[in-house]
Chain A
Amino acid sequence: MSQATLAIRRISGHAGPAPGAGVERAEQVCKLVDTTTCIGCKACEVACLEWNGYAFSQTTFNNSYQTMPTTSWNYWNLIKFNEHEREDGALMLLMRKDQCMHCAEPGCLAACPADGAIVQYTNGIVDFQQQNCIGCGYCVSGCPFDIPKFNSNTKKMFKCTLCSDRVSEGLEPACIKSCPTGCLHFGTKDDMTFLAEKRAQQLRENFGMEKAGVYDPQGVGGTGVIYVLHDVSNPEAYGGLPKDPYIPWVVQFWKGPAKWIGNLAMLGGIIGVTLHYLRFGPKQVNGWKHKEGGKP
């Protein structure tokens, strides 16, 4: 979804600095998901489909309230339901709104080879520009949250836009708008972090959840979606939220030092054969040399 009104911080696959990058600054936007007050009503799933114009699609039933196993190219917002046994034996139904995390250091953007197919706006939203996407799927390898999904008909990648279209017009994202319990909040990163920490403190002090805390992983520079968890020491219990996500080392190496090593090696090869030719020249066949007196 191209949003020309939003200034750009970074774009993918661009040779040299991105035009306009750093010209404008903006408050970082952030979604706060308080998993302790989520009731699993899926209003956010419906709102997401409605706003983005997708119909419900066929799904599978796997003895869970969960709508489908994972997010898909036309289903960007999914409540993950997980049955979890607490240490004291109590059974908990953990519900977490799964979606793109809008990392400050996005692995998808780092991995993407197509010029401008992934952008990070100055407000921190990471957005796919399908008109520039070549459908290679490198972002799938770059993402530590397994979020980008491929549409095999259009051969383009899709994911949550954090309603960049709504946010650019001063509206909150559709999922936030629909939440009936106040589990979802939207605002600046600073405000949301403050609110989240306050809620976590409340859970620790008043509800006996000593391990309650805020999930804002620093391995990806912090995220534009933060969670309040009952037990922040075990995010994996919430439908596989990684404990310490980071851009895979392979992707970091591939998009970093490997580029220079590879390019220098290729350049070295071309320079090497050129120097060889200048020094030694072409091979002469004995017969020619003798018969024609060493014709060059």
Chain B
Amino acid sequence: MSVSQVVSPVRTGDASGDRIQRYSLGERVNHWIGGLFYIYCLVTGLGFWSPYMFWMVVLVGGGPAARFWHPWLGLVFFASVCWMCKLWFRDMVITPEDRAWHAAIDHYIRNEDEDLPPIWRFNWGQKIFFWLMFYGAILLLISGCGLWWVESIPWSLRWLRYLSVTVHVTAALATIGGFIIHVYMGTAMVRGGFTSIIRGEVSAAWAKTHHRLWYEQVRKGTAGRE
């Protein structure tokens, strides 16, 4: 993996006196394209979902504009997920270390991080979120096409219209569940995480605490998880 490398090892201001690059510029740009367009589709989609949230659609330009842009910008979101998959696919494979970490997830929830087994660049929860968004985006794209061109689905195949609605709603709700936890953890719960996806860097202590195996691998300067 070429994206994990030590940068400016002499910079000070944190526990161990250096900072580690966690996300490359490309990864950060990719993340924020995905995030921005997901939020657009979330806001407009919630407006279409419930009359009690239709005001959200009004905030972003009104119903017809939202209906026009929702599928197109949804495509941009899907493209960003494809790009993300290209960048992170290998990092997101669930490993035996992740399974051990998952078995001890109660400690993570209770902030007893010292009792957790060491893990690589991403933890089990991040990987599950990635795959949730990956499969969610595929389902949203396919079912979204059914909703986009609903009239083109012949009457004899109208079960496809109903299936599109069901899949789109279910997949959207599942990603929203992941999104709530993702935003909470990225901003409030795991301090340093939000900065890392903006500036790309974390402290060595942060890396050591949350991603010990990745930290050691970066320290050794080796590329690749294996």
Q: Which residues of A contact B (CB under 8 A)?
A: 13-15, 113-115, 132-138, 140-141, 146, 149-150, 155, 240, 248-251, 254, 258-259, 262-263, 265-266, 269-270, 273, 276-277, 280-288, 290-291
Complex: A35 Cα to B187 Cα, angstroms: 67
Complex: A250 Cα to B167 Cα, angstroms: 11
Question: Once the chains bind, are A265 and B177 in contact (CB under 8 Å)?
Answer: yes
**B4-30 interface with A by 8 A CB criterion:** 14-16
Which chain A residues lie closer than 8 Å to B169 at the CB level?
Answer: 254, 258, 262
Which chain A residues lie closer than 8 Å to B109 at the CB level?
Answer: 276, 280
Please, could you name 27 A-B residue pairs with CB atoms under 8 Å apart, sorted by A? A13-B54, A14-B51, A15-B52, A114-B54, A115-B51, A134-B66, A135-B68, A138-B165, A141-B165, A146-B155, A248-B162, A249-B162, A250-B162, A250-B166, A254-B165, A259-B50, A263-B50, A269-B177, A276-B109, A276-B184, A277-B189, A280-B109, A282-B191, A283-B113, A283-B210, A285-B203, A285-B205
Which chain A residues lie closer than 8 Å to B165 at the CB level?
Answer: 138, 141, 250-251, 254
Which chain B residues lie closer than 8 Å to A249 at the CB level?
Answer: 162
Interface bin, chain B: 35 or more
Identity of the chain A residue whose Cβ is nearest the Cβ of B113 in the assembled complex: A283
Which chain B residues lie closer than 8 Å to A15 at the CB level?
Answer: 50-52, 54
Cross-chain contact of A286 among B110, B181, B209 (Cβ < 8 A): B209
Question: Once the chains bind, are B51 and A287 in contact (CB under 8 Å)?
Answer: no
CB distance from B122 to the nearest CB of A (A): 15
Number of A-B contacts (CB under 8 A): 136
Q: Which residues of B contact A (CB under 8 A)?
A: 14-16, 47-52, 54, 57, 63-64, 66-68, 109-111, 113-114, 147, 150-151, 155, 158, 161-166, 169, 173, 176-177, 180-181, 184, 188-192, 203-206, 208-210
Complex: A273 Cα to B49 Cα, angstroms: 23
Question: Once the chains bind, are A287 and B111 in contact (CB under 8 Å)?
Answer: no
Question: Once the chains bind, are A287 and B205 in contact (CB under 8 Å)?
Answer: yes
Which chain A residues lie closer than 8 Å to B113 at the CB level?
Answer: 283, 286
Which chain B residues lie closer than 8 Å to A248 at the CB level?
Answer: 158, 162
CB distance from B38 to the nearest CB of A (A): 15
Complex: A287 Cα to B212 Cα, angstroms: 13
Complex: A290 Cα to B209 Cα, angstroms: 12
Cross-chain contact of B209 among A14, A155, A287 (Cβ < 8 A): A287
Cross-chain contact of A269 among B52, B111, B180, B209 (Cβ < 8 A): B180
Complex: A150 Cα to B50 Cα, angstroms: 22
Question: Once the chains bind, are B180 and A134 in contact (CB under 8 Å)?
Answer: no
Complex: A262 Cα to B171 Cα, angstroms: 11
Question: Once the chains bind, are A262 and B16 in contact (CB under 8 Å)?
Answer: no
Complex: A277 Cα to B162 Cα, angstroms: 39
Complex: A276 Cα to B200 Cα, angstroms: 27
Given A259-B49, A291-B15, 11 more A-B residue pairs with CB atoms under 8 Å apart are A14-B51, A113-B48, A141-B150, A146-B155, A146-B158, A150-B151, A254-B165, A266-B180, A280-B110, A281-B111, A285-B210
